[in-house]
Structure 1
Amino acid sequence: MSNKDMGVIAKSDNELKLYYHPDNRIAKQSIAVAEATKAEKVLINLAEVKLTETQWGEISRLLDKQPSELINTDHPYIQKTLSEQPVLDENQALKILVHDPQVLRHPIAMRGKKVIEVEGINDIMKLQEMDSKDAKLP
């Protein structure tokens, strides 16, 4: 399968984007929760779609984190290829995310300007509030 390069990240309030790697333990549950939302879903399988360093940089900025904070430093790949306590600068971290997205710590969900790391399956529900804000209570 060829890696497709994506352009700059577009943001839409009607669209729920989920960036995930299928090897991540909560990826399947995150996808199931995303599928249950009313929003249009864009599921981005990082094993098939290659994000650029610019896109990873944008995602980390939107999360208000350093790129290295998105990496699971306990991942066997990191432990084997770097060290047990790797210290990654921004450029190293971005290159690792581009070439080895399986080390992504958590799936990342985006809706409009809201971006979160999905540490638990209920985290995606935080982005759901946007569906109900206009609902009139009886």
Structure 2
Amino acid sequence: MFVMQVVTSKDLIEKITLIASNKTYVDTHHPEIKKKLEAWLDCYSTKKQPKIALPLDLSKLSPFSKKVLEALQMISFGQTKTYAQIAQKIGCRAFRAVGNACHDNPFPIIIPCHRVVAKTHLGGFAYGKEFKRALLKFET
């Protein structure tokens, strides 16, 4: 379980930080965004792919990072892809750069960087391998 700490600007989500907790909840001062994120998490907690559109601010991301995050959004609930598969999908061979974009993902869980694994092992995760393993186990 985790606290989803949310930074907003106007009506957009700029960044989400996950903090380990004994219960899951959304921490933000923006009531409408909080309501949408809570609905998203409610759907996610039932092991369904949430279809709720969230107002994510992608304006500070590089074009490469945007491409990577768009590709990550295509990975279905319960599925994984390798860094190399994501690189190939966006038309490059820079799988390490894909890993860096995943690590720097400002919207963890919402944009599922945890679903990207290395060819022979779990791969990294900004919040630790145990958290990544737990998320993947929950989703399967």
Above 0.5 in TM-score?
no
Q: State the structure with bigger RCO (CA 8 A, min sep 6), 1 or 2.
A: 1
Normalising by structure 1, report the TM-score. Answer: 0.29
